[in-house]
Chains A and B, each alone.
Chain A
């Protein structure tokens, strides 16, 4: 029986979809099978980030409304021997088109067939969020080191707990270690202290993510980047490995190393 995990954040634009794409890809790279479900009906993105847009025939709503079989709607990523599978959202329908019961049924069918079912939740705490959460057994909350994102993450953790999803895991996205060190950005410690949940991983802000996302290749495939390492670490932690947080002190540029040398 696979693990069913919803990835959510409350606030939009913090990197839910990018996180889902990269964690899913990393799990596939580690030999696991994963199905990624995009529940952002009407604003589908996950297919773009994975570079699978042109292979979509049917979508989640078609399956939920009985117009297509589940097998027909699944888009298999050939890069990983079909271990990575996408169930795309509909683009021409809106969020009210998905009924909670139908969604939960689909998740229940997928869960035994894959090691992981990752549900990409839409932003907000309305019906779309409720649907996405309804099928999940665990939750990952994504936030960025901004007060607004942290506040929304706090709210979402409260809502998750109210629905029985206790102890969600936290991913801090787009951390700028230099800014956090200088006190210009909320630090990892402060975020963990406020939210009071376990930290699953920290992804540093990395231009490679933007570039690769636009190309439709999850950044985790680009082994050299620090974001890729962070996503791989997260995937390994999800498999039960104990991987320490990466050291953000290392690999800083020559300039800042010089600066530290001169002590200012």
Chain B
């Protein structure tokens, strides 16, 4: 095994260890090499403070979900290593399409009236009002540049997102299937946004957007 060219190239950087996986060898070879290399010498890192961050680079190899899970399981067995990032250059077409749909912002100009539904897997920007009985359903964030008096469901599919409205009077709000009770009187009819914090929806004035920690909602 060790006689052949290395299937996995490990490089130490300031940010931790980077694993480069050979994109040409077979998956079986890759998995056995990985357990061998992890077995071989990395245990000496154990006991030196916290776990060492690890970045996995797969290059031009397409990594099916089950293989990725097997590799991640291999790392989880070693508490001295923590996988921080997985870098892949190759994705399935449908995965890319889904990513594009999620990344797209759907813009709607005009009033969303009672009985109308606006849906998108990405963000939704409404340049107008959402009247009572109108529904906005987004996989991403919802921004309403007007009065939000209808229903807004953001982060459909479980993502933590924001609902921002210039004039908040929503009848129903939810983020990632967590629902809110009535809009608190302090925020009713004002510029406000809603986010998911510790399993509950919280309301904030629009001015708080400036200091929002975006990484926790992205």
Instruction: Spell out A's residues near B (CB within 8 Å).
Output: 151-152, 154-155, 157-159, 194, 196
Contact = CB atoms under 8 A, between A and B. Distances in A.
Contact of B111 (A151, A152, A196): A196
Nearest to B115: A155
Contact of A151 (B116, B128, B129, B133): B133
Nearest to A158: B113
A200 B89 CA distance: 60
B129 A154 contact: no
Contacts of B128: 196
B129 A158 contact: no
B132 interface: yes
B131 interface: yes
B114 interface: yes
Interface string B128-163: 110111000000000000000100000000000000
A152 B115 CA distance: 9
Interface residues of B, number: 11
Contacts of A154: 113-114, 131-133
Contacts, number: 26
Given A194-B131, A196-B129, A155 B111 contact: no
9 contacts: A151-B114, A151-B133, A152-B114, A154-B114, A155-B114, A155-B115, A157-B113, A159-B115, A196-B128
9 A-B pairs with least C-beta separation: A158-B113, A155-B114, A154-B114, A155-B115, A154-B113, A196-B111, A154-B131, A158-B116, A151-B114
Interface in B181-217: none
Interface string B72-102: 0000000000000000000000000000000
A159 B128 CA distance: 17
A155 B132 CA distance: 10
A61 to B, nearest CB: 30
B135 to A, nearest CB: 12
Contacts of B131: 154, 194
Nearest to B111: A196
B112 to A, nearest CB: 8
A51 B141 CA distance: 57
A125 to B, nearest CB: 8
Most chain B C-beta atoms within 10 Å of own C-beta, residue among A152, A154, A196:
A154
